């Protein structure tokens, strides 16, 4: 068990670096630059070195305690959420209420981004924090219904139990609506792609606008970590976890996770930013009824069995 606890942060760091490198390659391609693979791979390392060498700054009348607490809490929330992620069929902590634990750590990320926006005593930073709270109110209910749908089909809140229930048929096959909504909400949770307005350019970086140096590195790393963990959770919830032919279970998990993250990053760059009021309208009028309907269908199938 100890080796898995020590290995988890290192494994997550490797996946985060690979995901950032993939995003850098897509960014270069969008700008019309034919960048070598190694150049894209070095992009996240250069960014880390630049931020580590940068000087931390502060603002007038800033609440330093809340500010730093928010910055530190974001990557911590992502790491704690990853405790229930199985690699193959093994996780650091396969809790009986693993799905609830995962969702609770996501809620902790709400507080982290809000504090990072509130603490600097800056108007634009505060606007970014408010935007994320509004975005959370829009995506959280569809997200919870998507999680509940997978748990209902498996008859357990334990992530390992959900994986075991997909030995014959992956859940994505008969609950595609829940899968799609989960991926959308995962991108919104990491305020990535069209859901990036909490750190948008129109508000000078929003919740991250006043961050610099190590603070900005922790915040950006926490954001990417949330995207990685949320995307990786789609594998045990809907894509059968480590189930698959020929390859070992852990390798199936890696392959599926890589495919999900590659798709999420690519899709995030294909769509423009979504206004919070528009997203809230779509969430309440489309996503929530869709996920409730999907949950009801799954519940009926479970009862008939």
Average of pLDDT values for 41-46?
A: 76
pLDDT digits (tens, 9 = 90+) for 99-132: 999 999 988 888 899 898 888 888 888 898 888 8
Residue 15 in tokens: 């996946």
CB of 98 within 8 A of CB of 86?
no
* Planar angle of CA 11, 15, 19, nearest 5 degrees: 170
Confidence of residue 142 (pLDDT cuts 50, 70, 90): very high
pLDDT of residue 233: 94
How far apart (Å, rounded) are the C-alpha atoms in residues 28 and 219? 23
Residue 273: CB partners within 8 Å, gap ≥ 6?
A: 194, 195, 196, 197, 200
Whose CA is closest to 254, among 276, 281, 231, 287?
231
Asked which of 26-40, 116-130, 161-175 is least confident by mean pLDDT, the reply is: 26-40
How far apart (Å, rounded) are the C-alpha atoms in residues 271 and 126? 25
Does residue 302 have a pLDDT over 90?
no
- The three-class DSSP label of residue 38 is helix
pLDDT digits (tens, 9 = 90+) for 5-26: 678 888 888 888 888 888 888 8
Cβ burial of 48 (10 Å; 0-12, 13-18, 19+) is middle
* Of 147 and 51, the one with more pLDDT: 147
Asked which of 53-62, 198-207, 253-262 is least confident by mean pLDDT, the reply is: 53-62
Residue 60 in tokens: 């007038």
Mean pLDDT of the chain: 87
pLDDT of residue 31: 66
Confidence of residue 37 (pLDDT cuts 50, 70, 90): low
Q: Which of 132-136, 224-228, 244-248 has the highest mean pLDDT?
A: 224-228
pLDDT of residue 236: 94
Q: Does the global pTM surpass 0.95?
A: no
* Planar angle of CA 144, 136, 120, nearest 5 degrees: 145
How far apart (Å, rounded) are the C-alpha atoms in residues 129 and 146? 25
Residue 132 in tokens: 């994320």
Confidence of residue 153 (pLDDT cuts 50, 70, 90): very high
Confidence of residue 150 (pLDDT cuts 50, 70, 90): very high
Whose CA is closest to 206, among 95, 275, 131?
131
Does residue 4 have a pLDDT over 70?
no
Does residue 85 have a pLDDT over 80?
yes
Residue 129 in tokens: 């924090």
Confidence of residue 206 (pLDDT cuts 50, 70, 90): confident
pLDDT of residue 175: 92
pLDDT of residue 146: 94
pLDDT of residue 228: 94
Residue 66: CB partners within 8 Å, gap ≥ 6?
A: 115, 118, 119
Average of pLDDT values for 181-193?
A: 91
Asked which of 45-49, 215-219, 220-224 is least confident by mean pLDDT, the reply is: 45-49
In the numeric block, the tokens 């929003």 are attached to 206
Phi, psi of 292, deg, nearest 5: -65, -45
pLDDT of residue 255: 93
Residue 221: CB partners within 8 Å, gap ≥ 6?
A: 16, 75
Residue 31 in tokens: 């700008």
pLDDT of residue 84: 92
The residues pairing with 87 across neighbouring beta strands, listed in sequence order, are 90
């Amino acid at each position: 068990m100890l080796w898995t606890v020590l290995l988890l942060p290192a494994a997550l760091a490797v996946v985060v670096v690979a995901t950032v490198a993939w995003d850098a390659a897509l960014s270069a391609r969008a700008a019309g630059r034919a960048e070598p693979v190694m150049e894209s791979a070095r992009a996240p390392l250069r960014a880390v070195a630049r931020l580590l060498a940068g000087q931390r700054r502060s603002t007038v009348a800033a609440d330093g305690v809340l500010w730093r607490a928010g910055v530190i809490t974001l990557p911590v929330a992502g790491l704690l959420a990853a405790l229930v992620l199985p690699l193959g069929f093994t996780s650091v902590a396969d809790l009986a209420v693993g799905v609830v634990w995962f969702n609770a750590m996501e809620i902790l990320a709400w507080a982290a981004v809000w504090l990072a926006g509130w603490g600097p005593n800056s108007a634009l930073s505060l606007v970014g924090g408010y935007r994320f709270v509004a975005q959370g109110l829009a995506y959280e209910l569809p997200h919870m219904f998507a999680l509940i749908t997978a748990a209902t089909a498996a008859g357990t809140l334990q992530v390992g139990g959900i994986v075991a229930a997909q030995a014959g048929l992956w859940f994505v096959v008969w609950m595609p609506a829940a899968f799609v909504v989960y991926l959308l909400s995962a991108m919104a949770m990491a305020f990535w792609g069209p859901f990036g307005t909490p750190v948008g350019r129109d508000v000078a970086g929003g919740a991250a606008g006043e961050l610099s140096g190590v603070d900005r590195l922790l915040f950006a790393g926490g954001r990417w970590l949330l995207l990685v963990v949320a995307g990786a959770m789609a594998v045990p919830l809907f894509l059968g976890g480590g189930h698959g032919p020929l390859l070992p279970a852990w390798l199936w998990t890696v392959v599926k996770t890589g495919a999900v993250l590659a798709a999420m990053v690519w899709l995030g760059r294909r769509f423009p930013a979504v206004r919070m009021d528009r997203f809230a309208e779509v969430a309440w009028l489309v996503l929530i009824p869709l996920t409730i309907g999907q949950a009801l269908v799954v519940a009926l199938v479970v009862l008939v069995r």
